[in-house]
Amino acid sequence: MRVALCQFGAGDDPVANAAEIDRFAEQAAEQGAKILVAPEAALVRLPEAHQPVAPHAQPLDGQFARDLAKSSAAHGITIVAGSFTPGDDERAVNTLVVLADGELVAHYDKLHLYDAFAYQESKNVRPGDNAPVTIDVDGIRFGLATCYDLRFPEIFRALIDNGAQAFLLPAAWVRGPVKEEHWFTLLRARAIENTAYLLASGEAGERCIGRSTAFDPLGLQLTDLGAGPGVGVVDVDPARVAAVRETVPSLSHRRFRVVAG
C-alpha cells in the first residue's frame, strides 16, 4: 500500500491549516495513497517555549478534527495529523488525531515531551498517559509516535509487541546544531532495530527542518522531501517486512521485554 507524507509550516488559523491538509490529501489520493501523515502541531503554528498552548487546544470532536474527517471521507484516505487537545490543568495535550471514513478512529497523546535543547515543552503541555497506540489500515498495522518520542526506543519496542509492522511519526523537528544528523540517524536506527518501516512527517518552515522521510525495514531511505512544503508517496509492503524479519530475526532473539513504567 502507499503512504503519503506532507510537510508545511502551519499558521495561526486552524481552518486554513486544515484546508492545506485537505489539498495534500487530494494530491496523495490521486497518487494512490491510503494514508496521509501530516506534521506535529498541524493545528496551529508550534508556539514558542514561553507561550501557552492551552488557548489553541480543541477537543477531539472540535472543528479541526471535523474538517480533517470530512477530508478523509472526500478523498478516501486515512489522515494522521498533530493537534492540541485540552488537558486537565492549565496545560494542553499534544495529540495525534487519526481520521478515516469521516470519523475519528484513534488518537495518541505524546508520551515524551521535548524538554531539551533549551526548550521546555512540559511547561505548557501535559504528557500523555496512554498505552502505545496502533492502527490497522489495509491489513497493515502502524504504530504511532510523535517527534521527541523518537529518542526513546522502548516505545517502538512496545509498538512492535502490539504487532506493528511500520511506524508513523509526525514531528516538528526544531533546527539546531547536529539536529538534522540526529533526525536521520534516529529514524534509521528505529527502523533497523525493529525491522519495520518508519515514515516521518516534519514541519517545514523557518524554525523546523522539514525533511520528511521514510526508511524501510533494512534502513534504506525511501524519500526525503527537503526543507520546503510538499508531499511525497512511498510504498509499504508487509511482505518486505516479513522477508527482512526472516533474514534478520533479531526481534525473536531479544532477552528483555519493555514494561511500562
Which are the catalytic amino acids? 40, 110, 147
Q: How far apart are CA 58 and CA 36, in angstroms?
A: 21
Residues 93 and 129: their CA atoms lie apart, in Å, by: 10
For residue 65, which of 45, 43, 38, 36 has the smallest C-alpha distance? Answer: 43
**CB neighbour class for 2 (10 Å; exposed up to 12, middle 13-18, buried from 19):** middle
Which helix (H) or strand (E) element contains residue 231?
strand 230-235
For residue 86, the SS3 value is strand
- Cell 521485554 found at: 257
Q: Find the angle CA(166)-CA(170)-CA(174) to the nearest 5 degrees.
A: 130
- Residue 117 region by backbone torsions, left for phi larger than 0, else alpha for psi between -120 and 50, else beta: left
Closest CA to 20 of 53, 44, 1, 3: 44
* 7 neighbors 212 (Cβ within 8 angstroms): yes
Nearest by Cα to 41 from 179, 178, 148: 148
